[in-house]
Structures are given as C-alpha cells and as structure tokens.
A = this chain, B = another copy of it.
Amino acid sequence: MALVGASGDAGKNTARPQRYLKKHGYAGRVVPVNPTRGEVLGERAYASVADAPDGIDHVFVMAPGEAVEQALEDCGKRGVPVMSIYSDGFADAGAEGAARQARLAARARQLGVRLLGPNSMGVVNLPGRVALTVNAVLEMDAPPAGTTSIVSQSGTMLGTVLSRGAARGMGFAKLVSLGNEADIGAGEVVDLLAVDADTRVILLFLETVRDAPRLAAAARAAHAAGKPVVAYKLGRSALGQALARSHTGAMAGSDAAMDAFFRDCGIVRVDMLETLVEIAPLLAGRKPPQLTRAPRVAVVTTTGGGAASVVDRLGLHGIETVAPGSDAPIIDLTMAATPQKYAATLDALLSSGECDAVLAVVGSSAQFHPQLAVEPILAARRTAKPLAAFFTPHAERSLALLAKAGIAAFRTPEACADAFAAYFAWRAPRVAPRLPQVERVSLEIPMAQSEVARGPDYAHSVPYPVAVKIHAPGVAHKTEMGGVFLGIRDREELLRAAKALPGKEILVQKMVSGLAEAIVGYRDDPLVGPVVLVGAGGVLAEVYKDYVLRMAPVSVAEAEEMIGEVKGLAVIRGFRGLPKGDARALAQAVSAMSRLALVRGRPVAEAECNPVIVKAQGVVAVDSLVVMKE
C-alpha cells in the first residue's frame, strides 16, 4: 500500500490510513509518499509513487491538487492496478470539478488503472485486517469482524453504520466508501461482494444511483448467490433531493422511480437509518417471503404494555399479529413464564403454519438479567422463518448477545416494524421480459373520437354532446388555461365556446363518461431508466399522488397487479357495490404504454394519458401528451 500525502502529524486525517493499517493488523508493507519528508510515523517515505519500491498493489491518494493526476500517471507507469482517491475538488465541486474528474477517469482507462473515488474515504476489510481509510471510526480498538458488508456513497455514514453496529457487537466484513464513483461504482462493488466468501448481507447507503443497469445486474447476482441487498437511499423529500444534488453533483430522479428500481432487482429498501444497522440478521440466509396475503407476525411477550408499542407500529405497516389457537392479538406469557415454557412457545410458533415471523418482546429483564432474558430466544430452533427480538429498556448486553448469535434484535419499535415491513415487501428480482427492441410502437390505447373544426362555421361530424378544446398540439394542462369546455350539447353552445377560444381552429371531442378516471404514464427516469405509471386520474392525481410505478416494460398481468394497488381505483374494483370497471383494458393500456421503453434509442422522455376513462367495457383516453428527448 502506498499512501500519497501521508502526514507525519498523527493527529491529522491524512495520518489515519497509516495508523489504522498498523493498529488493525495489516500484514503487508505500507509505503508513505511525501515529497517533503524522508520518514513518516516511523516508516521510510518516498517523494512520489514513481520513486516507491516495487510491488505496490494499491495507492491511496490524499494529497490535494495536481498530486492526484501525477499519482495516476505514476500508477500507470509502475503498473499499480488500483488507486483510491480521498482528495476532493472533482464532481463534488461544480462543473469545473466534474470536467476534471472526467479527464481523470478517461486517463485512468487509458492507463489501465482502476479508480475508487475521488472523495472516497477508502476501503476496509475487517476479516482480512486491511483498514485503508481516513474514517475516524477505525479509532475503535477492535471492530468485530462479521459477514455484513457496507457500500456507501457517504464516507461519514459508512463510519456511522460501523460505529453503531460495532457498539452492539455486530460484525462487518468489507466496507467501501465509493465517493464520486468516477470509475468503480456501487454496481461493480456489489458484483464483487456477490462472490465474496466473507459477505452474507450487503448494505447500501446511497445518495443517488449513477450506474442503475450495473447495480441492477449486481443485485440480481447477489440474489442468485443467496445474499440479500439492502438500501437506505436519501432523496425521499424534495429537500433531500436538493441536498443530494448540491452534495454529489448527481442528477435527480424521482423517489417513486427509485422504489420501482429497487423492487425490480430485488433490493430491500429500508426507511430508517437504524433499520440499516439492525436488519442484516433478519435477512441473512433467507429468501424473499413472497406472500399473497397480509403478513402475520406472532408476538410473544412477558410484558403486555411493552408489546403494544411495536404491535401498533406493525399495524401501521399493514402487518397483522396472530396468536395461533387464540383470539388474542399477542401471546402474553406473563412474567411467571419459565424459560422452558418460553422456548417451547417460540419453537411451536417457528414451526406453525399460521404465522410468517416471530417477534419476542422482552422487558426490564433484558437490562438487568441479559443472559436469562435472551436464553429462550437463543435456545429456539433456527428455521427459515425469521425470529427477532425487541427489548423495551436500555439493554446493550442483551442486544450484543443476540448480535453474536446472529439473531435480529431491535432497539426501537419503529425500526423493528420498519425491518419487518421491508422483509415482507422483499421480492425476488423480477424476471425481466427479454423483448426485442423495436423501431416504433403502437400504443393501441383507444382515444375519444375527435376532429379539428375550423372557423367560421366549425363544421364537424362528432355526435353531441361534445367537449370543445383549444387546438394546440403539445400543450399540457389545457384545463388550467381555461381551454376546455365540457358537455357542449348543440351547435349553438359549440359556437359560443369556439368564440371564447383563441385561434381559428378548435378540437371537438366526443364526451366520454365512465366509472373512473385513471392516469397512465411513462417516464425515462434520468437515474433508473424507463418506468410506467398507473394511478387515479383527473385533476386530483397530483394532489393525492395515488399511483403505482414499475420499471418498464410490464406485461398485462403485471399491469393488473399495479392497478390493484391504486387506492383510488377501488371504484373500478367493485368498491361499495359500485359497478366494476374494465381493469383488463386499463392493464392493456398500461402495458402498451410501457413498451415505449423498447423503442430503439428510447427517444421518448415522457408520455401521459390523463384522464383515461375506465368504462364497464374498455377504456378511452381523453387527453394525452408525449415529450421527446431533446
């Protein structure tokens, strides 16, 4: 390892990699590179990578400015395969920095040198005793080695997850701070972890996604290797998106598209940061549950009041609780229960067909008698069904005992419920339809009969009643600009409406009525690519954000599943005795719309039919819009 810019002042960030490599038992040689000193922290220093001894596997650059470019040239000359860069001033620093980063990456490709960063805090391999990082979390004495690996776009948060996990006795394997991903990205690292013998679960801390297809393929590979991939992704709020842009220079995609992407490639998304720290044992070695009904958790407790907070929260996630053989919502063993009875209860639940997971809620004994408190949980048979614990008091030792045993344990009812919700929402990667690219696509979505009528007589052959609209192809939001008159019943009303509109032409459209209004949309998301959307339509579509997204294309069957998840489309599913709408025809429209993703070169930026009138038989689009890429 060569450390470019290694400081001789042990208190500086740039002295950390050398200190940490030594502290955590790195067995190889460490070579400080510092043009101003002959020795750094007791090791002989060299003026440049060019001057350093042979056999360097990895150069870590911490020096500012042109030293980065120089180190790269030297790596090229000396045949160093990998260079990690802590230095910033690249894509994190505006357009000029981004251009500098592009030049650096291009040159690295020419030279055959792989880059991690810039703006990366480095890499850590705990089982392998390599702590090549500036992250202060490695100040801790002996972070436990384990089977969970972390890949993070934020160096700080890599440290956060390690710090919090280690404090609870949770072990980690590989930790990679991606930085700006000029070359090596999240996808490639996940690919490596998918075949890494030390890794059982892969955690992602993401501010953006820069390599969606690669990451998707890697997540699929990890799934095939039986390794769950979990993501905590910022940018759920507009504020978070704005910050991610300013912080990473990344483009903004929509969070709903990101959700669709994760689902598509089998990545488990968690909502809370603490869940990212706590969830690994819940998933390790398990497969997606793939339930077709609401999930059921059996909650066993010796403290009814303590169970209530987590049960209430599970309910908010649509998770049911069951007590097999009883009407009670939970299994309250009362404080008098013996450890034997407790363990037998857990075993019976773990082999019961009536629940999908088992949660033990433990009260104050978890704080004062940890061994006793967790004994029945440790004794329970390990099955494919998840077993987890929630401790109501401050209970560090109990948490550590379960961490050591590889059993999921939660500090808060909220993260516990979030983890169960994420587990139950976990899906195997979708088997992507292998459809050929096409030159053009017919959407086959029926449109309401319409004609352009021209003044002064505005003759047309559309039967009354009609809608009269401003004739301005490509104009969105006609309603808002006062350009739509509905329910025109005769020629007289038509002439009056035409007079109120600008231009010599109007659009005359047959009035269509049905059971519900839907929106069907397509968007080529800048981060994750083509997605298709179906939702409740009309003016309130935007207000309620009641829609379901999937990666495009989708089959008609997949589209029907999407429609089933749109709350407002309950009205076409026979809600409150109302007549049913033609969900199949709507699904065909959604599937057709999604095939825009197959057009060679993907020229469409976005497309939308809104409203689509859903009738008892068939659907009719009343307005539509297509925006081509520039």
Cβ-neighbour of A477 out of B166, B243, B576 (below 8 A): B576
CA distance A13 to B365 in the complex (A): 12
User: Which residues between 577 and 595 of chain A lie within 8 Å of chain B, taking CB atoms?
Assistant: 577-578
Shortest CB-to-CB span from A474 to chain B, Å, is: 18
Within 8 A of B (CB), among A45-64: none
Q: Is A147 an interface residue (CB 8 A)?
A: no
> A235 to chain B: which residues have CB within 8 Å?
312
The verdict on A142 contacting chain B, using a C-beta distance below 8 Å, is no
6 A–B contacts, CB within 8 A, in A order: A155-B305, A157-B392, A163-B392, A237-B314, A240-B313, A543-B575
Does A101 belong to the interface (CB within 8 Å)? no
Q: Which residues A152-177 have CB closer than 8 A to chain B?
A: 153-157, 159-160, 163-164, 166-167
* Residues A238-282 near B (CB distance < 8 A): 238-240, 242-244, 246-247, 272-274
1/0 contact trace for A537-570 toward B, CB 8 Å?
0011011101000000000000000000001101
Quick one: given A159-B363, A236-B312, A364-B137, are A479 and B578 in contact (CB under 8 Å)? yes
Contact B135 A364 (CB under 8 A): yes
10 closest Cβ pairs, A-B complex: A237-B315, A240-B312, A239-B315, A154-B305, A480-B577, A136-B364, A163-B393, A167-B394, A156-B305, A480-B576
What residues make up the interface of A, taking CB atoms closer than 8 Å to B?
13, 135-137, 139-140, 153-157, 159-160, 163-164, 166-167, 207, 232, 234-240, 242-244, 246-247, 272-274, 303-309, 311-316, 319-321, 328-330, 335, 363-365, 367-368, 392-394, 412-414, 477, 479-482, 536, 539-540, 542-544, 546, 567-568, 570-571, 575-578
- Contact (Cβ within 8 A) A364 B329: no
Are A329 and B239 within 8 A (Cβ)? Answer: yes
Protomer copies: 2
Across the interface, A237 reaches (CB within 8 A) one of B246, B312, B571, namely: B312
Given A239-B320, A247-B304, A539-B571, answer yes or no on A392-B160 (Cβ-Cβ < 8 Å). yes
Q: How far is it, in angstroms, between the C-alpha of A161 and the C-alpha of B50 when the chains are bound?
A: 60
Contact B539 A567 (CB under 8 A): no
Residues of B within 8 A of A413 (CB): 273
> Nearest residue in B to A567 (C-beta to C-beta)?
B543
Are A234 and B335 in contact (CB-based, < 8 A)?
no
**Contact: A311 with B160, CB < 8 Å?**
no
| B-chain residues with CB within 8 Å of residue A155 when the two chains form the complex | 305
Q: Are B575 and A539 in contact (CB under 8 A)?
A: yes
Residues of chain B lying within 8 A (CB to CB) of residue A166: 394
Q: Considering the chains assembled together, what is the distance between the CA atoms of A174 and B402 in angstroms?
A: 33
Q: How far is the CA of A311 from the CA of B241 in the complex (A)?
A: 10
Find the B residue at minimum CB distance from A365: B136
- In the complex the two chains form, what is the Cα distance from A451 to B289 in whole Å? 57
**Interface contact A306-B156, CB-CB below 8 Å:** yes
A232 to chain B, nearest CB (A): 8
The one of B303, B365, B394, B477 that contacts A164, using a Cβ cutoff of 8 Å: B394
Residues in B whose Cβ lies below 8 Å from that of A316? 236-237, 240
Nearest CB of chain B from residue A578's CB, rounded to whole Å: 7
Residues of B within 8 A of A164 (CB): 393-394
**In the bound complex, CA of A237 to CA of B315 (Å):** 5
**Residue in B closest to A304 when the chains form the complex, CB atoms:** B247
B412 touches A137 (CB 8 A): no
Contact B311 A239 (CB under 8 A): yes
Closest B-chain residue to A299, C-beta based?
B243
- Find out whether the CB atom of B242 lies under 8 angstroms from the CB atom of A329: yes
Nearest to A318 among chain B residues (CB) is B237
Contact pick for A544, options B242, B305, B544, CB 8 Å: B544
Query: Which B-chain residue is minimally distant from A576 (CB atoms)?
Result: B480
